[in-house]
Every structure is written in structure tokens, then in C-alpha cells.
Chain A
Amino acid sequence: MQLLDLRTEARALAPILDATPEARRAALATWRGRMVNEHGSAPVFAALADQLADAGAPATQVEAVRAMAEEEHRHGVLCGAVVEALGGEARAPALVEQPLPTHADVDRFEAVTRNLLSVCCLSETVAVALIGAERLEMPEGPLRDILTRILADEVGHARLGWRWLADHQQRLDAERRERLGRYLAVAFGHLEAHELAQLKPGGRVDPALGICDGGAARALFYATVETVIVPRLEALGLPAAAAWDARHHPESAVNSAA
């Protein structure tokens, strides 16, 4: 069994927080979960950097993405610092690390584009909206400072994907766009399942401690996908609207376009 243990690093950064025992319990669960998720994203970016290097991306770009892995690790520590500040311990079951899909059916450029779509254009853009809303609802203080720091990095992570798509428009011919549309159907379904599994309506809500309303967060998730991500991908020439519609049966999108 692998445990994620960030206690040493987190305790050095733990802010001073004031909360009732009930609020601490709810906040502990949320922040410990975020600690796990954020730390678990570090190897995603590390693998993405390797994939970019394999695809021949400039060294400066590869190193910048590798730095994003460090940022995700730091986010895990910051979330762990909140856990420690709330009276808990910054340790938890670690996510089982899984390899980044290699997408061996396509060339390296398209393979890394698929992963950038999923990681940056989808997941991290949703994270920008969710963290941004939470930050705006949080009073000034050390916890908001932590969210500000995390949000700044997440904005950069999201922009990596959007800039990639914008910069490589000429390389996305019709066949590639069609294949990326098929992949988007899978990625949208994956994203929705991930978000809904962790944004649960009906729980305690305490914006001062970063405990958001799961129902409202779900609404924001859907709004972000439907009014920001899908239209922007469409504007960049990818069939995102059809992919979003096909997310619950992506195999049909794959088969019909094959």
C-alpha cells in the first residue's frame, strides 16, 4: 500500500486557521482530497514533458512543462499545509500512478495533442473556473493566499493547451481534426465522470474554509464546458460540440467516424 506523506513539507507552511471542530472535519476531508489529487497530477505533467520531448518539442518548452509537475507537487504540499493547519495530518492513500496514454495509433504530435486537450484544455480550464470561484467567495487571509498561488499556476497549465492548439492550427488537417473530435468524446466523458464523482451536492458549505457547494460547483463545471471550452474548441476547428454530445456513448463517435 502506498501512502502519500507530505507532513514534513506541509507543516513548515501551515497557516493559522480558526474553525469549529465540525468545520474542521469537513474541511479536512476536502483539503486532504485535494492534496491527493494535486500531488497525483505531478507525474501527469512529468510524463507530458517526456512526451513533448519525444515529439521533438523545444527544450525550453519541455522544461517549462516539467516545472509544472513541480508546481503540482507544491500544490499538494500547500493543500497538505491546510490539512495540518486544521489539525490533521498531511498523509493519505496515494493515487496509483498510471502511465500517460501513448496513443500509438497516431504520430507523436497528435498523441501529445490529445493529452494536452484532456489535461490542459479540459481539466485545467475547469480547475481555473472552480478555484477562481472559490477564491472569490473566500475572505482575505492565508487560505485565500494559497488559492491565489494555486490558481496562478493552474491558469498557466490551462493556457499551455490552448496556446498549443492556437500555435499548431496549420498542422491540424481535416483528418487530424476528425480524429481529435473522436478523442474529445472520450475525454469529455472521462472529465464529467471525474468531476461528478468528486463534486457532491448536499454537503456542508463553508466558503471561508474552502468547502464549496458541490451542487453549485457542478453547475459551474457544466457552464465552463458548455459556454467556454466547447465554443472555443469549435472556434479552433475541432468538432467539440458533437464530441460533448457523444460523451456518454463515445464508442459510437469512434465507430461512426472510423
Chain B
Amino acid sequence: MNPAQLRALRAASRVTFTLGIFGCAEDAPTAPAPDPVEAAEEADAQVDAAPIDEADAQHELFVDAATDPSLDAGAPVPADAGPEADGALVDAAGGDAGPHCDLNAPDYPACCDAVGWDFAAGCMAWGPPVPPALLA
């Protein structure tokens, strides 16, 4: 991996450490070993710190959840009502009769043709996608 990737890996490692009610488990062997870009990382610490610090501030909100006794009702989860409507989504076919743009749908290519979709993208994953269900 190149220096930028090593630094990004270290940043991802830092994200996994949070101050919960049991404190930081800083002794956990999750951080990659020291790398040759340590000096460069320190020099760029101000830039790196910006997103991390913003997130820290934002997630102070979650500290309250740690001791909330009401969380586990022990009851089965009710059926999901489905995703909320999104004003940015338009029904180009005037209904559900048109091709579905689900990657796994048989008419996905037709949907892509309709909007000139380009399959040449090589590094577009972000997300996150919908989590999977546990296998039956």
C-alpha cells in the first residue's frame, strides 16, 4: 500500500476506538504497526483532525444511550414499514410498469439504457448498502 493508504488505514483504526462507559480499550491490537509515513502524518495532523473532531463532537449525542435501561424490551421486532418516500426519485415510466433499476432485476439493462448509464466506473463503492438478513 502507498503512504496515503497507510494513513487512511490508521485513520480508520482510530475511528473504531470510542469512549464508552467502560472506557477506551486502547490496549486492543487493532492499530497497524508504526509505518514510515509517521512523520508526514504528524505534519498533516491538522488536516486529518478536522473530520475526526467533527465526528467526535457529533457523537457526544450517543453517550446517553449507554445506560438507558429502556433499550431492550425483549420483544420481537415489528415488521418494517419500508423506506420513506424521496422527493428526488421520479417515476420515469409513469408507474411501476417500466423496468426496475435493481442491479439484480432482469430488466436492469433496459433501465440503464434509458438513461445512458455507463458501466465503466471503476471505484465507485461507498454506501452503505442495506444490511443482509441472517440466512434461514
Residues of A in contact with B (beta carbons under 8 Å apart): 1-6, 9, 25-26, 28-34, 37-44, 46-47, 50-51, 54-58, 60-61, 64, 73, 75-76, 91-109, 111-112, 114-115, 117-137, 148, 150-160, 162-164, 166-169, 171, 182-183, 186-187, 189-190, 194-195, 197-204, 211-214, 216-217, 219-220, 223-224, 227-229, 231-232, 235-236, 250-251, 254
Chain A neighbourhood of B17, CB < 8 A? 162, 232
Residues of B in contact with A (beta carbons under 8 Å apart): 1-2, 4-5, 7-9, 11-13, 15-22, 25, 28-30, 32, 44, 50-52, 54-56, 58-59, 61-66, 68, 70-84, 86, 88-93, 98-102, 105, 108, 111-112, 114-115, 117-135
Chain A neighbourhood of B73, CB < 8 A? 55-56, 107-108
Alpha-carbon gap, A252 to B8, bound state (A): 34
Contact B118 A32 (CB under 8 A): yes
Alpha-carbon gap, A29 to B118, bound state (A): 6
| Given A57-B65, A250-B135, residue A156 in contact with residue B58 (CB < 8 A) | yes
Show 26 residue pairs from A and B whose CB-CB distance is below 8 angstroms, ordered by the A residue.
A2-B89, A26-B122, A32-B118, A46-B84, A51-B77, A60-B64, A61-B61, A64-B59, A73-B86, A96-B101, A97-B83, A99-B130, A100-B130, A107-B77, A108-B73, A112-B77, A122-B128, A132-B8, A155-B15, A163-B63, A164-B62, A167-B18, A183-B134, A186-B134, A223-B9, A236-B28
Is chain B's binding surface mostly helix, strand, loop or mixed?
loop
Chain B neighbourhood of A118, CB < 8 A? 128, 131-132
Chain A neighbourhood of B2, CB < 8 A? 137, 216
Contact A44 B68 (CB under 8 A): no
Alpha-carbon gap, A84 to B24, bound state (A): 43
Alpha-carbon gap, A235 to B110, bound state (A): 47
Chain B neighbourhood of A28, CB < 8 A? 118
Q: Which residue of B lies closest to A156 (CB)?
A: B55
Alpha-carbon gap, A221 to B99, bound state (A): 33
Chain B neighbourhood of A30, CB < 8 A? 121-124
Q: How many A-B residue pairs have CB under 8 A?
A: 384
State the Cβ distance, A35 to closest chain B Cβ, in Å. Answer: 9
Chain A neighbourhood of B115, CB < 8 A? 3, 91-93
Contact A224 B127 (CB under 8 A): no
Residue from B5, B78, B100, B121 in contact with A102 in the complex, judged by beta carbons closer than 8 Å: B78
Contact A216 B5 (CB under 8 A): yes
Contact A56 B134 (CB under 8 A): no
Contact A133 B8 (CB under 8 A): yes
Contact B65 A133 (CB under 8 A): no
Contact A104 B117 (CB under 8 A): no
| Given A32-B121, A93-B115, A155-B51, residue A129 in contact with residue B12 (CB < 8 A) | yes
Alpha-carbon gap, A94 to B98, bound state (A): 13
Contact A231 B29 (CB under 8 A): yes
Contact B82 A124 (CB under 8 A): no
State the Cβ distance, A225 to closest chain B Cβ, in Å. Answer: 10
Contact A163 B72 (CB under 8 A): no
Alpha-carbon gap, A41 to B68, bound state (A): 27
Chain B neighbourhood of A201, CB < 8 A? 122
